[in-house]
Amino acid sequence: MGDYMFIDLNKITDKGIIIDTTVSFDESYLKNTTIKKLDNVKVKGRIYYSITDEVIMDAKVEGVMILIDACTLEDIDYPFTINLQEILVENTQSDEKLSTNSQNTLDIMNVLWQNIVLEVPIRLTKGTFDNIPTKGEGWELVNNSEKKIDPRLAKLQELLDTRKE
């Protein structure tokens, strides 16, 4: 189930842990999103303890997500850059909580994923509509400036026009 990116909290020095890596997100992450593919996401930054003993992740996340065009259903490359500053572990006020095995390592993939999902646009289109049909069986795309009157209602329009006079 996806990549893992474990950080050992015991190895965080005064300068922090430097992160410079590339990650990919598999189908388990993508399944309920409009993201079709998300590979080779660059993560560069550091994880460190703040003055108040919180574990902070300060990183730049860059990549290209493959989304689906809202009109043509074609794939679209959507580049993104996130300047991320996230508290990974709150100040626990006791050293006991940080010394438990479950808290000695953190998987930061979920933090990365949550921030990437926030960058996904609600709808996206390339904006080139050269090959999109403007007519079909029972429908036609009309411009507001060239409103056409349904021939079946033309007589009604004539009645309304004569009443205005």
Inter-residue contact 63 to 37 (CB < 8 Å): no
State how beta strands 139-140 and 75-89 pair. Answer: unpaired
pLDDT in tens, 43-70: 999 999 888 888 899 999 999 999 988 8
Where helices occur in the chain by DSSP H, the ranges are 27-30, 95-99, 101-104, 109-117, 154-164
Residue 160: its pLDDT value, please?
81
Residue 101: its pLDDT value, please?
44
In whole angstroms, what is the distance from residue 25 CA to residue 101 CA? Answer: 26
With a cut of 50, which residues of the chain have pLDDT below it? 1-2, 94-102
Which helix (H) or strand (E) segment holds residue 19: the answer is strand 17-25
Domain ranges of the chain: 6-117, 135-164
User: pTM for the whole thing?
Assistant: 0.66
Positive/negative CA dihedral, 5, 82, 44, 67: positive
In whole angstroms, what is the distance from residue 26 CA to residue 38 CA? Answer: 8
Residue 147: its pLDDT value, please?
66
* Residues above pLDDT 70, as percent of the chain: 82
